Chains A and B, each alone.
Chain A
Amino acid sequence: MTQTVMPPDGSPWQAPAERLAALRLLVGVYAVGYLIGRSGALIGVADQASTQFRPVGPIAWLAHPLPVPLVAVAVVVAIMLGFGFCAGWHYRWTAPAFAIAFTWVLSYRNSWGMIFHTENLLALHVIVLALAASADAWSLDARAGRVGILPPAGRRYGWAIQLVSAVTVSTYLLAGIAKLRHAGLGWATNQALAQFIAYDNLRKAELGALHSPLAPLLLPHDWLLTPLAFVALAIELGAPLALLHPSIGRMWAIAAWCFHVGVLLTMFILFHYSILGFAYASFFPVERAVRAARSTRLQRMSRGLERRCCVRWHGARPKSPDRV
């Protein structure tokens, strides 16, 4: 396989095929892992009373809930297509099919009166990656010669990575706009955050779930939360700045990650895709990490082979360099 030339760090629109491929692997593996890990809940949700059914998004046209076995089949099909997406196998067909199946399955789960806003960004990232040439490297298509010779690092791959980042910052900007719309700048000054933390934890406690152990310690000192509210609003409304330069993007990604850590600590709300860092992968040269992981694995494999060969042919392990 041809390895593309690394672009200069200062141009976010220029990227090698491996960066987009690494993003496909990270987001794809996460999405498939999520489907497998949550399959019980994804299928189980269909078992609820039909009066609760409030279809959203691409399944808004459904008048009645579907039979549970059909939902189970949809989840299995989505997982199978997800393997094709991750491996980059006939990507032109499997990727859009996976994006449709994945969005359908998550939409169905969100159609029971409660939209889980923790899943929107993941679904949007899968859609964008499915529409780009994300399997030109590190894929079965590339191995089988279905993608031809890789062009040098450039906009062919950079636009999709920039769009993934743009979608990420858009979701934060929209959340910031929603706060301004509903509460104005007062959201950051009128103890709104303290009331949210108090309300959310109270609701959890009274609904029989775990609440944040920090809430009872933090809430009596609610003045502490006003600067945090300002920072949160600044991260959301300032999100588009992250697209200006890769280094600003990386700083923003770290700030947004810290924001989610704060949400987790104070409200016990886990934005899993963000907390685990996958949501911000497009802001970093992720192909280096994947390449390092691959080369470590290759080194380990070759060392293992060498050792086995030596034992078989010479009946002894190779001497380490310091013993020579």
Chain B
Amino acid sequence: MTPLRSPRRRLVDTTAWAVTVWCVVLFGTFVPIVTGRDSFPLSTYPMFSSPRGETARIDHVLGVAGWGQRRPLPPRLLGSDEIMQAHQTVSLAVRGRTTRALCQRVAQATLEDPAHADIEHIEIRTDTFDTMAYWRGDRQPRMSRVLARCEVERRGPS
């Protein structure tokens, strides 16, 4: 049979455990300040902290319809429902110079999506916008660079 601990002994044990857990958890929470590393679950919480300039450089994937009209494609065509994950996919492809492969993948996904049956080409671009002017109605990019362009190969009725 397990011997019962006295209330005093139990209090000492609880206090020692509580102090240990407090120190370890709080120390761990503040470690990223020293290391400067954003990780999980310990983080520096850098979101919204670095000042943004007056322009925004966006790596994104556009679908080009038959009449030349471009529109951004939803994140699910890039393999994720999460907008930020999809954004990261494009940015990493741009940095890793693998935009061609990504373009082919998106073209395949577009082909299988009836909501985008009018899309004939896919473009991976880096566009630079004036952030404040954008919300005053001036949505034309100040600078554009097409990094990859590929066709959505639709076969007509045989």
List the B side residues contacting A160 at CB < 8 Å: 18, 21
List the B side residues contacting A115 at CB < 8 Å: 38-40, 43
When C-beta atoms are compared, the residue in chain A nearest to B36 turns out to be: A181
When C-beta atoms are compared, the residue in chain A nearest to B83 turns out to be: A209
Tell me if B39 and A198 are in contact (CB < 8 A): no
Task: Kindly supply a per-residue 1/0 record for chain B positions 83-125, scoring 1 wherever the CB is within 8 Å of any chain A CB and 0 otherwise.
Answer: 1111111011000101000000000000000000000000000
List the A side residues contacting B85 at CB < 8 Å: 45, 112-114
Tell me if A175 and B135 are in contact (CB < 8 A): no
Question: Which of A86-94, A137-145, A188-196, A308-316 is near enough to bind chain B?
Answer: A188-196
Residue B50 CB within 8 A of the other chain: yes
Interface extent on A, as a size class? 35 or more
Task: Kindly supply a per-residue 1/0 record for chain A positions 287-319, scoring 1 wherever the CB is within 8 Å of any chain B CB and 0 otherwise.
Answer: 000000000000000000000000000000000
- Total contacting residues, chain B, CB less than 8 A: 62
Tell me if B46 and A178 are in contact (CB < 8 A): yes
Question: Contacts A112-B85, A174-B30; is A127 near B49 (CB within 8 Å)?
Answer: no
CA distance A306 to B40 in the complex (A): 53
Tell me if B50 and A182 are in contact (CB < 8 A): yes
Task: Kindly supply a per-residue 1/0 record for chain B positions 56-99, scoring 1 wherever the CB is within 8 Å of any chain A CB and 0 otherwise.
Answer: 10101100000000011111000111111111110110001010
When C-beta atoms are compared, the residue in chain B nearest to A177 turns out to be: B33
CA distance A112 to B73 in the complex (A): 20
Residue A204 CB within 8 A of the other chain: yes
**Distance (whole angstroms) from the CB of B39 to the closest CB of chain A:** 5
**Distance (whole angstroms) from the CB of B53 to the closest CB of chain A:** 8
Tell me if B89 and A52 are in contact (CB < 8 A): yes
Task: Kindly supply a per-residue 1/0 record for chain A positions 56-70, scoring 1 wherever the CB is within 8 Å of any chain B CB and 0 otherwise.
Answer: 110010000000000
Tell me if B58 and A206 are in contact (CB < 8 A): yes
Residue A203 CB within 8 A of the other chain: yes
Task: Kindly supply a per-residue 1/0 record for chain A positions 96-119, scoring 1 wherever the CB is within 8 Å of any chain B CB and 0 otherwise.
Answer: 000000010011001111111101
CA distance A202 to B134 in the complex (A): 7
Residue B140 CB within 8 A of the other chain: no
Tell me if B41 and A57 are in contact (CB < 8 A): yes
List the A side residues contacting B60 at CB < 8 Å: 206-208
Tell me if A195 and B131 are in contact (CB < 8 A): yes
CA distance A177 to B92 in the complex (A): 28
Tell me if B41 and A107 are in contact (CB < 8 A): yes
Sampled A-B contacts (6; CB under 8 Å): A57-B42, A112-B88, A163-B21, A166-B26, A174-B43, A202-B131
B residues adjacent to A (C-beta < 8 A): 7, 10-11, 14-15, 18, 21-22, 25-26, 29-30, 32-33, 38-54, 56, 58, 60-61, 71-75, 79-89, 91-92, 96, 98, 127, 129, 131-132, 134-136
**Told that A170-B26, A207-B87 touch, could you supply 18 new A-B pairs with CB distance under 8 A?**
A41-B82, A47-B79, A107-B40, A113-B91, A115-B43, A120-B41, A120-B43, A133-B14, A163-B22, A166-B22, A181-B49, A195-B131, A202-B131, A206-B58, A206-B72, A207-B83, A208-B71, A222-B132
